[in-house]
Amino acid sequence: MSDVPTALVAEAAGADRLELCADLGQGGTTPSLGAVEVALRTLRHAGVRVMVRPRGGDFRVSEVEEQVMLADIAALRALPNPHGLPLGVVVGAVTGDGGLDLPVLRRLIEAAGPLPVTVHKAFDEVGDQLRALDEIIELGADAVLTSGAAPTALDGAARIAALRERAGDRLRVIAAGGVRSHNVRQVLAATGARELHLRAPVRRDGREATDADEVRRVVAAVRSA
């Protein structure tokens, strides 16, 4: 998801968790505090995960960018949540040599406190994903979003299945990448995933919106699988 209107459409179509972000053209960046506050006020039951990423481009995080991310997390924690919606953050950081930036991730996860943390698809740039999985579990992350370091979840299905087996009940592995209603059952069967992440974009009135019918079809397929 990106903005509040698309989040409301997705919730009404049956999505049980939404990711708020800005600038999807850059893979998603931190949304405005106003957008998050309005989402928490207007959504009724769906969980909300907020992207904390100060810019597009690569996933290396400078000292100043880390300070921005820490400030954003503190501000998110202070927002009112009148309906008690499950709220979490989505972060990621890698080093130049193909590993997770563990010191940065540790500080971000510690700053999130009680908010659950998902490590986003920066994870797919890591060379040794099985080792990285153990590392983020040790840091206390709640979930990881991955296509198994492949262009789509189907292409990376074997890796996603291996990650799920390695994680067990210690961390949620969310399959992402090219998930649509026509292949969702195949993705579930090939990966063993219990949770999926998708965008359902459609052009409407000259802008990108969320295709509620596509969300409904995916939700129905997951529930019937």
Q: Domains of the chain by range and CATH? A: 4-224 (3.20.20.380)
pLDDT digits (tens, 9 = 90+) for 44-75: 999 999 999 999 999 999 999 999 999 999 99
Position 1 pLDDT exceeds 70: no
Average pLDDT over residues 165-174: 97
Average pLDDT over residues 90-96: 96
Share of residues in the chain with pLDDT > 90 (%) = 85
pLDDT digits (tens, 9 = 90+) for 106-154: 999 999 999 999 999 999 999 999 999 999 999 999 999 999 999 999 9
Average pLDDT over residues 79-85: 97
What pLDDT score does 24 carry?
82
Entry pTM? 0.93
- Residue by residue, DSSP assigns the chain as --SHHHHHHHHHTT-SEEEE-B-GGGT-BPPPHHHHHHHHHH--S-EEEEE--SSSS-S---HHHHHHHHHHHHHHHHS--TT---EEEEE--B-TTSSB-HHHHHHHHHHHTTS-EEE-GGGGG-S-HHHHHHHHHHHT--EEEE-TTSSSTTTTHHHHHHHHHHHTTSSEEEEESS--TTTHHHHHHHH--S-EE---EEEETTEEEE-HHHHHHHHHHHHH-
